[in-house]
Structure 1
Amino acid sequence: MIARNANIDLNLLTALDALLEEESVTAAADRLGLSGPAMSRALGRIRRTIGDPVLVRAGRRMVPTPRALEIRAEVRGLVEAAHRLLAPSAPADPAQLARVFTLSAHDLFVSAVGPRLVALAAEEAPQVVLRFLGESHVDVPVLRDGVADLELGIIGQREPEIRTEHLFNDRGVAVVRAGHPLTTARLTARRYADAPHINFTRRGRLTGPIDAALAELGLRRRVIATVPTFAASLLMVRDSDAVGLANEVTAASTVRGLGLCTLPIPFDLPPMEVAMAWHPRQDADPGHRWLRGLVRRVVMAAVSAESAREQP
């Protein structure tokens, strides 16, 4: 066993391993890309550190001492372990991955990409479980605190260390039931504002960016209810004359599935930047990299499919 010493230069382990393998200062130097004098100096430091000559001359060659033979296998194992420890992580093998990944996302995004995400994960990584975590009504640092592994949606302001990857830009559209009065004529900002509105917001707010845009036009919409989920807002819209709000691309399949109609909002709104976010401690993790790749593929495939539907 090599004695513990706080002053040991761990680089000497690599030099010692090469010397014991080659049994030659010159060959060990060539193996490590060092000069002969540099390797000789390393051998001198090794001898002083372990208190043993390690290699001694026997005629024209050098042979290991009994102490060197005793520690040779241990030194080789330590060097190999260090190489494994410090080598870049290999890509994850999804088939062997057995983990639970927690994703924080609004129900709009869960309903839009969740089914395909779960299906593809089950196909590629049958031992992986995807756990979707609903958004809180207050801002909580779920990524920093390790509550969630990945956040998907309109990310907004997050802690400065959080990594984000932009996926695509979406835009807001009005959602109404089939045969709604707003579908019978050109939709103006005035007609839009005068209609009854349903808000969906996790914080229960009665106003948002759309109200700021209307205020610049001297208009104010009439909000009759606010609900915490996208699904609830669509069901209310389906059974009333209320107007809802949705992300055009993200919500398209859900809106179609409920037989609802979308109308372009007749004034300018800032784009909705859809992204995924994670804490930097997950950056190099092979399993997390696979998860990010999975989300990226599913989201971009959904965007491409929706774009293709819009083509004449």
Structure 2
Amino acid sequence: MQLDLNLLLALDALLEEGSVGGAARRMHVTSPAMSRTLGRIRDLTGDAIFVRTGRDMTPTPYALAVREEVHAIVLRAQAVLAQRDALDLSRLERVFTLQCHDAIASAIGAPLLARMRKEAPRVTLRLLAESAADTNDLRQGNVDLELGAATPSHRDVNHQVVSQDRLVVALRARHPLAGRKLTVRAYAGAEHVTVSRRGRLRDPVDEALAAQGLSRRVAAAVPTSAAALRFASETDLLVAVPEKMCAAALKALHLKTLPMPVTVPSLSIVAAWHRRHEPDRAHGWLRQQVQAVLTELTAAGPR
């Protein structure tokens, strides 16, 4: 029997995506072409691979049993082929797509591009805003790296905590609460603006206040930290923002910061990427550059 390794790649895509359409997009072929490939895989293995349950496709017991092994073989094959040529950053022409919170994008965007272009002058950096809903962008190859607070749970997505930050209260210099110690009651008694992609008026700060029998009035919700800080600079609204990631914006808008008067969890910045990139030396270099920039920001501390 002559083995077509393309069938192994297609089987890996089918098992990861769970559909012919998703696998077709991954492999950059049409859905009919992927359907024909699935037929060849069925002939080769003697197994249906997927069975239809209503409108969905469910993997067979055989497919579930070989899924991890198939993926490991594909990754190993990619790693073997990738070892043939050393990574020449001076000739690397590639678009790297990062998806992250606007505060992270503002903090790392310019220094990351500058750092990358010193070694790889032909690379392009594309920064996308966080989606308001969970997506499959990493799995579908639309995004190379996600940076955010959430820890991914999908088995095909690797992740690493790359930095830590903390919330501080930002307010204008002439705010009535500026220049004094901010008590929890004074904080709860003020008006606030929250940062939420979905327009939510509550966040973990409200839970911390509720634990002390207090509540606050949220006068506005905005989708980005930049918009929230603009509110704080022109009104008496308070806003809780990540201290290090917003340091440059806080300085530019001449905003003061005070420690949070309630205990809220520290903010972990998590980098997430699809495990298909593990053998990819260029992608590994990208992750190193992101880590280095975040480390420098952390070492510099608040400005």
Question: What percent of counterpart residues are identical?
Answer: 41
The one-letter amino acid of 1:196's match is E
The one-letter amino acid of 1:301's match is E
* Counterpart pick for 1:118 among 110, 113, 119: 113
Report whether the alignment pairs 1:235 with 2:230: yes
Report whether the alignment pairs 1:133 with 2:128: yes
Report whether the alignment pairs 1:154 with 2:149: yes
Report whether the alignment pairs 1:275 with 2:270: yes
Distance 2:273 2:86 in 1: 18
Residue 106 of structure 1: aligned partner: 101
* Counterpart pick for 1:194 among 189, 192, 195: 189
Residue 212 of structure 2: aligned partner: 217
Q: CA deviation at 1:87?
A: 6.8
* Counterpart pick for 2:254 among 239, 259, 269: 259
Contact residue 94 and residue 290 of structure 1 kept, 8 A:
no
The one-letter amino acid of 2:259's match is P
The TM-score with structure 2 as length reference comes to: 0.71
Q: Return structure 1 stretches of 4+ with deviation > 4 angstroms.
A: 84-87
Pair 91,109 (structure 1): closer, same or farther in 2 beyond 3 Å: farther
Contact residue 89 and residue 285 of structure 1 kept, 8 A:
no
Q: CA deviation at 1:201?
A: 1.0
Pair 227,87 (structure 1): closer, same or farther in 2 beyond 3 Å: closer
Distance 1:156 1:224 in 2: 30
Q: CA deviation at 1:244?
A: 0.8
Give the unaligned 5+ runs of structure 2.
4-76
The one-letter amino acid of 1:221's match is R
Aligned residue-pair number: 229
Distance 2:284 2:176 in 1: 48
The one-letter amino acid of 2:120's match is A
Q: CA deviation at 1:89?
A: 6.0
Contact residue 100 and residue 128 of structure 1 kept, 8 A:
yes
Distance 1:249 1:172 in 2: 9
The TM-score with structure 1 as length reference comes to: 0.69
Residue 67 of structure 1: aligned partner: none
Q: CA RMSD in A?
A: 2.1
Report whether the alignment pairs 1:181 with 2:190: no
Pair 89,252 (structure 1): closer, same or farther in 2 beyond 3 Å: farther
Distance 1:205 1:102 in 2: 27
Contact residue 155 and residue 277 of structure 1 kept, 8 A:
no
Q: CA deviation at 1:91?
A: 5.0
Q: CA deviation at 1:274?
A: 1.1
Distance 1:221 1:156 in 2: 29
Q: CA deviation at 1:183?
A: 1.6
Which secondary structure state, in structure 1, belongs to the residue aligned with residue 140 of structure 2? Answer: coil
Distance 2:172 2:85 in 1: 51
Report whether the alignment pairs 1:142 with 2:137: yes
Q: CA deviation at 1:151?
A: 0.7
Distance 2:153 2:82 in 1: 32
Pair 271,223 (structure 1): closer, same or farther in 2 beyond 3 Å: same
Which secondary structure state, in structure 1, belongs to the residue aligned with residue 139 of structure 2? Answer: coil
- 1:263-296 per-position Cα deviation (integer Å, ceiling 9, x unaligned): 1011211111112110100112011011001101
Q: CA deviation at 1:257?
A: 1.8
Which secondary structure state, in structure 1, belongs to the residue aligned with residue 148 of structure 2? Answer: strand
Report whether the alignment pairs 1:304 with 2:288: no
Q: CA deviation at 1:161?
A: 2.7
Report whether the alignment pairs 1:289 with 2:284: yes
Contact residue 151 and residue 270 of structure 2 kept, 8 A:
no
The one-letter amino acid of 1:230's match is S
Contact residue 89 and residue 286 of structure 1 kept, 8 A:
no
Give the unaligned 5+ runs of structure 1.
8-81
